[in-house]
Amino acid sequence: MALLLSQHSNMFLFLFFFLIFSSINPSLQTNSLSIFFPLTSLSLPTNTASKMLYTSQLFSSSKRNNNNTQIKAPSYNYKFSFKYSMALIVNLPIGTPPQVQPMVLDTGSQLSWIQCHKKAPPTASFDPSLSSTFSNLPCTHPLCKPRIPDFTLPTSCDQNRLCHYSYFYADGTYAEGNLAREKFTFSRSVSTPPLILGCATESTDPRGILGMNLGRLSFAHQSRITKFSYCVPTRQTRPGFSPSGSFYIGYNPNSKLFKYIKMSIFPERQRMPNLDPLAYTIPLQGISIGGKKLSISPAVFRADAGGSGQTMIDSGSEFTYLVGEAYDKVRADVVRAVGSRMKKDYVYGGVADMCFDSKNAVEIARLIGEMVFEFERGVEVVIPKERVLADVGGGVHCVGIGSSDKLGAASNIIGNFHQQNLWVEFDLVNRRVGFGRADCSRLGK
């Protein structure tokens, strides 16, 4: 699930409540590809792969084919940095020769798609006619014959006998176009196999999406990567400045410092109405504020018989969202500390109502204190008091937590605002998530 709350509109629920696909297969083949990218929320550089910085370190590993013959597979590290405001945007080289495309890194959705219409600026739109490896999916492809329409990608056959898809989101935004196969080309010698992705001819967002969840059509699954990680820098709001972060596909040299927790995996047959089985579900156990653990039952953070209460980590959501019981406890503690200074009858984005005038932000953050998300095995995500409040514009700061109930969801979602200065690694083979503190702005340079 991916959410973005815009600073310039009441609510921009970006990529939330994606339709759940019909199958999940979290098992991944070993692949030694290791790449390091930037994410950016600024204007794109010239549309050329020459912007990539190749590191000198080259690894090699091996795997076996069906005949048990050892095949050598090269492995690379690419270094890029990304700029962060409310979304994590990575510029990826797609096609042959590669065209660099901006894509939202989204661990909460499955299908990746790129912009293929002429309405976007030349640097943001992919031109299929310029790529020798691009091909459209015909109507005869299995994806155009969904077995269970309610749980698969909505597809149809267009007038050209091509597979047409439509993705609609809860707030009315959408992307539609043709399904296609295309490579991600990292260098002259390293590229992914042709992956299924959307080539959007109509959309309400100027960028594409890099779908990274556990679904069979995600970039992570189709490219057979074993792990990926990112480091979100601290958010800055002053004009002309955007801090840089880091994105690795494959091996991350910092991982020896990470602390890991096991993901909760839900079998395909275990369908529940309020559960997203393709999300990265993690075992949150409690929340502390100002050094005091709140009296919230750990059961609130786990999926119940209907799937409600699932806790997931999502790079595509800006804020964190908590189900009613947990949100009410957090809000009561904030009201106890600084309730008299809270803006009355003010709700940011329709979901966040713990807001204050910016002139008091420093003092309010000090009174609230640091916030800690507590996981199993003593793993913690610590939010310093300096980052408890988010600048939402208009002279207002809000606690970066919203109500899932007001959102219309039944899940706990840890967004990227609470992932600042933190390595987050998704180890797909070992089915675990790793965390490591870092100065992400320094690492992204």
Quick check: helix, strand or coil at residue 58?
Answer: strand
| Residue matched to tokens 């459209």 | 136
DSSP one-letter code for 321: E
Q: Which two tokens stand for residue 342?
A: 């809270």
Residue 10: strand, helix, or coil: coil
Angle between helices 324-338 and 361-368 (to 10 degrees): 120
Query: In sequence order, what DSSP letters do the residues of 113-127 get, joined into one string?
Result: EEE-STTS-TTT---
SS3 340: helix
127, 205, 304, 314: which one is catalytic?
314
Dist. CA 257–CA 422, nearest whole Å: 11
Which residue(s) pair with 245 in the sheet? 82
> Encoding tokens for residue 42?
């600024």
- To the query of whether residue 314 is one of the catalytic residues in this protein, the response is yes
Over its C-alpha atoms, the chain yields an Rg (Å, rounded) of: 21
Q: Could you tell me the CA-to-CA distances from 5 to 9, 53, 136 in Å, in that order? A: 8, 32, 34
For residue 93, count other CB atoms closer than 10 A to its CB: 24
CA dist 116 and 165 (Å) reads: 13
CB 319 within 8 A of CB 307: no
Q: Strand pairing of 311-313 and 412-414?
A: parallel
Active site residue ranges: 106, 314
